[in-house]
Structure 1
Amino acid sequence: MGDAPLPPEAIEAHERGLAAARRNDLEGAEHWWRIAAEAGVPDAAFQLGYLAETRDDHAEAERWHRQAAEGGHDGGMLGAGAALEKQGRKEEALTFYRRAWEAGADDKAAFNLGRVYDDDGKGDLAAAAEWYGRAAEKGNAAAAYNLGHVRSDQGDRAGQVEAWQRAVELKHPQGAFSLASVHLEDGDEDKAVELWRQAVAEFGHAKAGENIAVYHTRKGEPEKGRFWDEVTRGLTAYSPQFETFGAWTSAASIHRQDVLNKALGEGEGEGEVRFNLDDATLTTGGRTYTGITNLGSFSHLDNSWLWAWANPALGQDVPALARLRELREYGEENDIPELVVGRLDLSGFPQPHQAATTMAIAAAALLGGNGVHSCRINEGRGSAYFHLDDPQLPPAEYDHLAAARLLMTATEVFPSDHRLVVRGFLGHYGFSLKMSADVLGGESPQGHSLMVGFTDTGLIKAISSGAGRE
């Protein structure tokens, strides 16, 4: 084609084809792209090759991709190589993949060259390793993962580990699970478990979850095992670690939530909620609040929770997600899987939506502030959860009149350890502790008193709450 400029009408035809494709009018798109391709527009020929691929017409795809490649289109070179491969003409395919590499198609061309040479472990493994390595250097996760298999076939254990470590870094969905198998064979079960956890946390890897469940069950930790066994197919209860964490923060979190709900309820208006993740603001009841953190969302379609940090639709560098890493880091440091696993299937809970709300409120306690506000999104198919930390909202100061109700409500939500609920509540408000076999209480810095009596089985049986100094 040379460097001659394309006719304006050819460019216009190509643009009309793109516009038709955006409307899902593929027949119209093909009509305009044919006009443009015949007039010498390389990308139009490439688009026609792609359409032919969707119809499994490999010969037609090859024809158009070749035309695009002759016009210098690196996608056409890749497409021609793929079409030739599907027709069993691998040597010709290699030629086009090399041309694509030289034209700047980078990791895709190198990956395809590696894959053809690999030939499922039956081909030229040295050449496969070379090209997979080049692709992995440019960030191709699949190339790094396949390189691990090639190194294994070559008997290069160190090279296999190095390649799969790179695959983990590049977020290949099988990278962590495969690397775990190597460490397990080497007798390092702790490292294997760490990698299985990563596989579940980042990709919901079911087999990795099952392996962790077996590990905990063998260690005499059936409830921990139960969590990992259910995590990808429907949790029926929180993990023991989250139950402990939630119990400690529960009563104070409920109080904070009550104060927030009352404050927001005073100006509900039409109930419309708007949020801006770039400005970290939320508007409801005609008032705008700052300092929000987008915690995550609940799907009413499949009853799952998705942390905002694991949502591919969200930009991770926006201000409204900045503090979310605090929750994840706390979960990692304290072995609380609910704060680490990106997507949690809550379908086994009796009330999955309430389970998500409880989890969000408990987790948000780590951020201080005012509490959690949620709203429906996606035409009611989901609910988004936001933590608020705005100085214009009232703080949740200790209320001696509400103390008994808060403690009893908290033990209904987290019933396994009433003493832990009380200790967490007293600690949150700075009470000096007084403890005996059946009584737990103390006095706050403001002079409030709170004494809680327990039964022989550890359940709350009596609460005495006194007002502090004026």
Structure 2
Amino acid sequence: MGDAPFPLEAIEAHERGRAAARKNDVEGAEHWWRVAAEAGVPDAAFQLGYLAETRNDHAEAERWHRQAAEGGHDGGMLGAGAALEKQGRKEEALTFYRRAWEAGADDKAAFNLGRIYDDDGKGDLAAAAEWYGRAAEKGNAAAAYNLGYVRSDLGDKAGQVEAWQRAAELKYPQAAFSLASVHLEDGDEDTAVTFWRQAVAEFGHAKAGENIAIYHTRRGEPEKGRFWDEVTRGLTAYSPQFERFGAWTCAASIHRQDVLYEALGEGDVRFNLEEATITLGDRTYAGMTNLGSFSHLDKSWLWSWANPALGQDVPALARLRELREYGERNDIPELVVGRLDLSGFPQPQQAATTMAIAAGALLGGNGLHSCSINEGKGSAYFHLDDPQLPADEYDHIAAARLLMTAAEVFPSDPRLVVRGFLANYGFSLQMSADRMGGESPQGHTLMVGFTDTGRIKAISSGADRT
């Protein structure tokens, strides 16, 4: 400590200030930071400047941030610039923002320089474009978005689109909607719809959802439009695309769940996202994918890939890309929109569970397990794919029950329910106007009869010939 740049007492005072702040003791934090700042500790001065900002005391904030800046604190340079700007002293603010940039500060310095030069489209637009561009290169989404407006003001429409595309990649909330507007002006409604969907899927943009609904209604697809109109304010039913997908997988998925529930039994649940494992009682299973969670408070489903609280590079989330890409390829919005408000369903949690089970079928494996989280405020859903768990082999005794149950869950197309079930177990397919069935590779037989309206009226299931 003898080589420390500040007296030991000053360093201790700064640490006491940080400890007080962690306890929300603002008065104590300010006292100790003042002691440290007066002894020359730049970070203590910066913290005092921040506290002054929270009280809207811009002159006091400027004083402490200047002191921090003189000590080489780049946050102090940014803070001094902000305090000066709030006092209307923009030229002085520019000086501190430039100093922060030259000192290696992050993208905020360049963004603030761009914003001041921009001056709502009335300033030095060439300089604004330069600084916004530098900030955007460092990943500042707002800078990329603002750069689009500057490019437009400069008459560079291609540059505007390029900047907004970068902003969309950086997840700026308004960027996709703005890109849709540009393509709509050019008469390219189909591309506009693509960006509207992105705006809804990533940010719940209600106006984008309304525009998609109008688009599909004009095309004679009101049910497709209904989904996008409801998605930001409470779905009352699945999309027709998901209904078809769910019908195809449902009967086999129900059987898969039956087999899994019997094998797992009961027990406290523990899960490890890094190892992609789930433990029930004293048994640990591998191949776990954390699908998502349901909130009992607002009745919404959140896919884990859209959950900001989860690290997206953990092994337990790796296979979620398969679900999302399948949804994008096959236009199934439930697999693409990150958060789904299910409050309009008669039974929102059951709707979430049904959706998760159907999606899990894409991953193969053993099926779905759920548990309570956040003191009962939510439920987490996990898909398992562990070879130590039993496979869901075809059960001719259960076949009729599975088909009838699946046809109740997805009633719009019972024939699709039956075809999906037969395909899952490798049956040959025999079809007529009122019958559908076939024989499995193991010699099982299954035949389903339909009414004139397409409902299931009879099921005949036979064991293998052995």
Alignment TM class, shorter chain as reference = over 0.9
Q: SS where residue 56 of structure 2 aligns? A: coil
Q: SS where residue 451 of structure 1 aligns? A: strand
Deviations 1:244-274 (A, max 9, x none): 0000000000000010011111xx2xx3100
Shift of 1:14: 1.0
Is the 1:20–1:28 Cα contact (8 Å) retained in structure 2? yes
Q: SS where residue 365 of structure 2 aligns? A: coil
Q: SS where residue 94 of structure 1 aligns? A: helix
The number of equivalent residue pairs is 464
Counterpart Cα distance in 1 of 2:168 and 2:132 = 15
Counterpart Cα distance in 1 of 2:418 and 2:204 = 35
Is the 1:62–1:83 Cα contact (8 Å) retained in structure 2? yes
Is the 1:14–1:36 Cα contact (8 Å) retained in structure 2? yes
Name the residue aligned to 1:287.
283
- Counterpart of 2:97, as a letter, is Y
Counterpart Cα distance in 1 of 2:13 and 2:174 = 43
Name the residue aligned to 2:20.
20
Q: SS where residue 233 of structure 1 aligns? A: coil
Residues 78-93 of structure 1 aligned to structure 2 (within 5 Å): 78-93=78-93
Name the residue aligned to 2:332.
336
Counterpart Cα distance in 2 of 1:285 and 1:254 = 24
Name the residue aligned to 1:309.
305
Is 1:199 the counterpart of 2:199? The answer is: yes
Deviations 1:12-47 (A, max 9, x none): 111111122122222221111111111111111111
- Counterpart of 2:135, as a letter, is A
Shift of 1:469: 2.9
Q: SS where residue 274 of structure 1 aligns? A: strand
Is the 1:145–1:164 Cα contact (8 Å) retained in structure 2? yes
Is the 1:33–1:48 Cα contact (8 Å) retained in structure 2? yes
Q: SS where residue 358 of structure 2 aligns? A: helix
Residues 94-113 of structure 1 aligned to structure 2 (within 5 Å): 94-113=94-113
- Counterpart of 1:372, as a letter, is L
Is the 1:301–1:381 Cα contact (8 Å) retained in structure 2? yes
Q: SS where residue 432 of structure 1 aligns? A: coil
Name the residue aligned to 1:396.
392
Name the residue aligned to 1:232.
232
Name the residue aligned to 1:55.
55
Counterpart Cα distance in 1 of 2:113 and 2:338 = 34
Counterpart Cα distance in 1 of 2:397 and 2:24 = 62
Is 1:6 the counterpart of 2:6? The answer is: yes
Shift of 1:326: 0.5
Name the residue aligned to 1:73.
73
Counterpart Cα distance in 2 of 1:388 and 1:190 = 38
The CA RMSD measured in Å over matched residues stands at 1.1
Is the 1:18–1:29 Cα contact (8 Å) retained in structure 2? yes
* Structure 2 stretches lacking a partner, 5+ long: none
Residues 180-199 of structure 1 aligned to structure 2 (within 5 Å): 180-199=180-199
* Alignment counterpart, residue 325 of structure 1, candidates 299, 321, 344: 321
Name the residue aligned to 1:222.
222
* Alignment counterpart, residue 465 of structure 2, candidates 459, 465, 469: 469
Shift of 1:169: 1.6
Name the residue aligned to 1:299.
295
Deviations 1:406-425 (A, max 9, x none): 01110111011100000100
- Counterpart of 2:330, as a letter, is N
Name the residue aligned to 1:370.
366
Is the 1:98–1:113 Cα contact (8 Å) retained in structure 2? yes
Counterpart Cα distance in 2 of 1:461 and 1:337 = 32
Is 1:447 the counterpart of 2:447? The answer is: no
Residues 52-61 or 328-337, more deviating: 52-61
Q: SS where residue 372 of structure 1 aligns? A: strand
- Percent identity, aligned pairs only, is 89
Q: SS where residue 243 of structure 1 aligns? A: helix
* Structure 1 stretches lacking a partner, 5+ long: none
- Cα distance 1:286–1:4, how it changes in 2: closer, same or farther (>3 A)? closer
Residues 151-160 or 329-338, more deviating: 151-160
Is the 1:264–1:285 Cα contact (8 Å) retained in structure 2? no
Deviations 1:324-362 (A, max 9, x none): 100001000000000001111111111111110000000
Counterpart Cα distance in 1 of 2:239 and 2:19 = 51
Name the residue aligned to 1:413.
409
Shift of 1:285: 2.6
TM-score when normalising by structure 2: 0.98
Residues 344-355 of structure 1 aligned to structure 2 (within 5 Å): 344-355=340-351
Shift of 1:219: 0.6
Shift of 1:87: 0.9
Counterpart Cα distance in 1 of 2:222 and 2:303 = 26
Name the residue aligned to 1:151.
151
Residues 124-163 of structure 1 aligned to structure 2 (within 5 Å): 124-163=124-163
Shift of 1:380: 1.1
Name the residue aligned to 1:164.
164
Counterpart Cα distance in 1 of 2:53 and 2:196 = 37
Is the 1:297–1:305 Cα contact (8 Å) retained in structure 2? yes
* Alignment counterpart, residue 425 of structure 1, candidates 421, 426, 438: 421
Q: SS where residue 288 of structure 1 aligns? A: strand
Counterpart Cα distance in 2 of 1:143 and 1:410 = 50
